[in-house]
Amino acid sequence: MLTTQKEVLDIALAWQGSRALLAAVELNLFSTVGEGSTAAEIAERVGTDTRCTERLLNVMVTLDLMSKQGEVFINGPAASQYLVPDGNDYLSMLHHTAFTYRNWGALDQAVRAGTSTISTAWDSDEHRDAFIEAMHRRSRGDAENLVNSLDLSGVDHLLDVGGGSGAYSIALCQANKGIKSTVLDLPGVTQLTRKYVAEAGLSERIGTREGSYLETEFGAGYDLVLFSAIVHINSEQENQFLMHKAFEAVNPGGVIAVHDFIMSEDRLTPAKGAMFALNMIVNTRGGDTYTKGEISGWLMDAGCETLHSTRTGEMTSMLTARKPLA
């Protein structure tokens, strides 16, 4: 437990460093600095005010993301690896983080209202594409853990609900040469799915189904229905509905898999999952993070049996349930 005023103030003022970093990312300062540049040179390239740009760059130095030699600013090791778009480790999701940062300003309003009080639609195609690209990078990083958490024996065809870039379908098909997958997502997203799938050389085995997963029919004949990072977007009632849809779509003996933040019954751990629940309150109409008991209840109510839970990462778990053979 905290005991000092300083500890409280450190939390209250932590947003300042966060906002400064996100502003630098949005203004492309780290990619513009090159091998070393002055504030005036950077400001001219990105179209900003020189004095204010220098003040922001100075803060990047105090955060140990840059160094300053005379009037020249130089990226530090972490900035070069994670904040410059050229590398595989680029944190492209920070552009989406900057978008959600603005939404968090309405957290008090959302808590009063019990739901998001802002528009939850993509504000542009560019933002949507950047989000999908960022999620693709992140998903590739934890795809191995997801694949290892699933028993793929007997799986010929899977449905990847809200599968985005198709990163998990790609990983599952690469792990088992006999699997085919269908990625269900919105039309603007599936055009990106097909691009990533083609780059992986899997267009003949991974197809797409366009539409909202709440409104579009799932089809039938699947051996595995996967919900990865999906249930936290939806309300409890919507997730109950989705589990029933999945139960109807999966073959007898097939599996429904839920991969997400799965909270302890007191909703305190994992701690980042507790914080993420607020992110869902701010950014969705009814999203939340859910407990194992809640998710298990939806699956059992749909008619499933044989529940199994596996930890897949620091914050995530996989919960699977099987449809009875008869």
Domain ranges of the chain: 5-86, 125-322
Per this entry, what is the length of the chain?
326
Tell me how far apart the alpha carbons of residues 51 and 319 are, in angstroms, rounded to a whole number: 53
Query: Does the domain made of 125-322 have the CATH classification 3.40.50.150?
Result: yes
Helix-strand-coil percent breakdown of the chain, rounded to 5?
Answer: 50, 20, 30
Lookup: tokens for 187: 């039309």
Contacts of 190 (CB under 8 A, 6+ apart): 183, 208, 209, 210
Of the candidates 219, 213, 174, 158, which has an alpha carbon nearest to the alpha carbon of residue 190? 213
What pLDDT is attached to residue 122? 66
Q: Do residues 169 and 175 make contact, with C-beta atoms less than 8 angstroms apart?
A: no
240, amino acid identity = Q
Tell me how far apart the alpha carbons of residues 283 and 275 are, in angstroms, rounded to a whole number: 13
Tell me how far apart the alpha carbons of residues 95 and 206 are, in angstroms, rounded to a whole number: 28
Tell me how far apart the alpha carbons of residues 235 and 241 are, in angstroms, rounded to a whole number: 10
DSSP for residue 114: T
Of the candidates 231, 298, 281, 242, which has an alpha carbon nearest to the alpha carbon of residue 117? 281
The reported pTM is 0.92
Lookup: tokens for 72: 């020249």
What pLDDT is attached to residue 143? 86
What pLDDT is attached to residue 123? 65
Give me the helices (H) in the chain, please.
5-12, 14-26, 29-32, 39-46, 50-62, 77-82, 93-104, 107-113, 125-148, 167-175, 187-199, 236-249, 271-283, 292-302
Q: Which residues pair with 255 in a beta bridge?
A: 224, 322
DSSP for residue 219: -
Of the candidates 242, 191, 194, 189, which has an alpha carbon nearest to the alpha carbon of residue 181? 194
Q: Do residues 131 and 123 make contact, with C-beta atoms less than 8 angstroms apart?
A: no
One digit per residue, pLDDT tens: the chain, 326 residues? 999 999 999 999 999 999 999 999 999 999 999 999 999 999 999 999 999 999 999 999 999 999 999 999 999 999 999 999 987 789 988 988 998 898 999 999 999 999 999 886 766 787 788 788 878 887 877 888 899 999 999 999 999 999 999 999 999 999 999 999 999 999 999 999 999 999 999 999 999 999 999 999 999 999 999 999 999 999 999 999 999 999 999 999 999 999 999 999 999 999 999 999 999 999 999 999 999 999 999 999 999 998 999 999 888 999 999 999 97
Q: Is 232 a catalytic residue?
A: yes
Q: How many CB atoms lie within 10 A of CB 26?
A: 14
DSSP for residue 20: H
What pLDDT is attached to residue 126? 79
Query: Does the domain made of 5-86 have the CATH classification 1.25.40.10?
Result: no
Tell me how far apart the alpha carbons of residues 163 and 227 are, in angstroms, rounded to a whole number: 8
What pLDDT is attached to residue 311? 92
Consecutive H or E run containing 316: strand 316-322
Q: Which residues pair with 157 in a beta bridge?
A: 180
Q: Do residues 233 and 261 make contact, with C-beta atoms less than 8 angstroms apart?
A: no
Q: Which of 232, 244, 259, 308 is catalytic?
A: 232
